[in-house]
Structure formats: C-alpha cells, structure tokens
Amino acid sequence: MSAHSATILTRPSAEGGARVRALAPALGAEITGLDLAAGVTPEAVALVLESLHRYGVVVVRDQHLTPEEQLGFMGRLGPVKTSSYSRANAFCVPGYPDMMVISNIVENGRNIGLMDAGAMWHADGTHMARPDMYTALYALEVPQRDGKPLGDTLFASTAEAYDALPDALRERVTGRRAVHSFAHHIEKKRRLGDLRRPPLTEAQKAELPDVEHPVVARHPVTGRRTLFVTEGHTARIAGLAPEESDALLEELWAHIRRPEFIYRHSWRVGDLLIWDNRATQHLAIFDYGELRRRMHRVETIGPVPE
C-alpha cells in the first residue's frame, strides 16, 4: 500500500474476537471471528467499513447467511441497488428481487443465474449515473478439482494504480471524462465470444443510456484519487479521436493490471466477499467448465463520481 495509506490492521478488533489480516501488499484482507448471522452490531458494520476503506476488498470467512441476512447486512452499508436488468432476465434469487444469482448451473432447461459475470476487468455499475459503492458476493457452491478450488476472482487497486502513474500519463488524463456504456459492454462480450446471456432488448437499451464519468475520480469516503476507466464498460474518452482514445485506454488498462496492484481471491464456501467498487476493479476466472458454482450478489448504490 502507498506510504500515506492507513496502517495495516493486525490487531484484534473491537468486535469481540474478530480479527483482520492483510492478504496482499496492495489490497485485500480477511476478517475471521465475525458471525453476521448472529446479528449485525454497529461495531461489526464499522469494522467492515474501516477494513474496506483500508484494503479495498475484504472477505468475511465462515458465514452461514440466509438471503434476508445478507440483504440486511448490506442495507447497513448503504442503500441496496435495485436492478431492473436482473429482474427482467430472471437472474434474481426467487423471492428476493434485489439479490442476483451468479452461477453456471442449469435447472429445468434454463440458467438459474448470470453465467458470464466478470469476464472482463470492470467495476460494477460504472455504466450508471450512480455506480455501485459496495458489492457483496456470498459463496454457496465453489467448484473444485483435485481438492483445489476453481473460479478465483482477481482484484486490482485503482487507487494504488493512480498513485503509481508516470507524471506524463497523469497529466494526459487529469480533467478528462470517459463514456461508459452497457450496450458497448454487451457488444464487446459478443465479439470476444464471452456472451452467455440474452441480448439487450430495446427497452433495456432505453433504460441504460451511456453516461460520462471522470477518468480520475475522487473516492467519496477516503478522498483518494482512483483511475475510473474499465476494460468492460468504458467505450471511449470524450473529446479524443477514436484512435487516440483507444490507445490511451489500452495504456491505462495495462497499467491497472500490473501484478503489484493485484489480489487473487481463492474462494471457500461461506466466504462473504465485499469490495469497495470505487477503489477496485475485478475479473472472474472461468476455469471450472461445467462444475457447479453458485453465489449470491448484493450491491449498494454510491454517489455520482467526482
């Protein structure tokens, strides 16, 4: 982590026997000894938020959560996001329209959840005027081969990436804005052969217009500057010719993906993985084929990026 970042937590927390341990140099931490199903205290919420803002991504281990409990906990972190796109495509947990199923499982001839989530580096909801603030993914089924878990998720710290920008590149992007587009995202998936969901309807396109956000955004809580352009949803940099925009975006994406900014999460059943969507990007690894994988996702809405 950058020198000005908060000191790494290795001490016992104020929340009973819970402990926080850093997992990688740039980002990532685990919390053990916290039982969210037993009741969410103000101290538990404060511990998770403090850890998120220090480490970007936090895994709370060994949870046994009902959908109500996961939704209730995320509601303590912020307003829970409602997704008309998820509802229209029947990707929700039955009876819980604000909770999306992320899964490759097919039952009765249909996918029970979203099968291609995370195929490109992205941050959740950047195609919206108010992108997601926090996302929580709860692991119910984790595929394994020869005793090794599959389907890892990679995270990159966009705050650390910004801090490490060369001066010339920082000057080129300061003050610029970029266009984020869900239609672009879906079309890019199709071109790459990664699309495993229905195409957008005209009604969905109308509900999800393109938006502009700053290329360099300030985190709404910590105040740190972050790079806010993603391989998955950023279509172009406003005001630049297409060739110049494409080249600059590729340079920024390659910088964000540098190994020193990465944490790779290896899943366990019972992991509640929460990430700060305004300070990170992530990528799913599809190495499990037809082996069953099932997760429940809940997101909170954040402010307009500045």
Known catalytic residues? 122, 124, 282, 297
Write out the DSSP string of the chain: --TTSPPPP-SBPSSTT-EEEE-SSSS-EEEES--GGG---HHHHHHHHHHHHHHSEEEE-S----HHHHHHHHHHHSPBP--HHHHHTT-EETTEEEEEEEE--EETTEESSBSSTTSSSB-TTTTSSS-EEEEEEEEEE--EETTEE---EEEEEHHHHHHT--HHHHHHHTT-EEEE-HHHHHHHHHHHT---SPPPPHHHHHHS--EEEESEEE-TTT--EEE---TTTEEEETTS-HHHHHHHHHHHHHHHT-GGGEEEEPP-TT-EEEEETTTEEEEE----TTS--EEEEEEEE-PPP-
Distance from chain centroid for Cα 298: 11
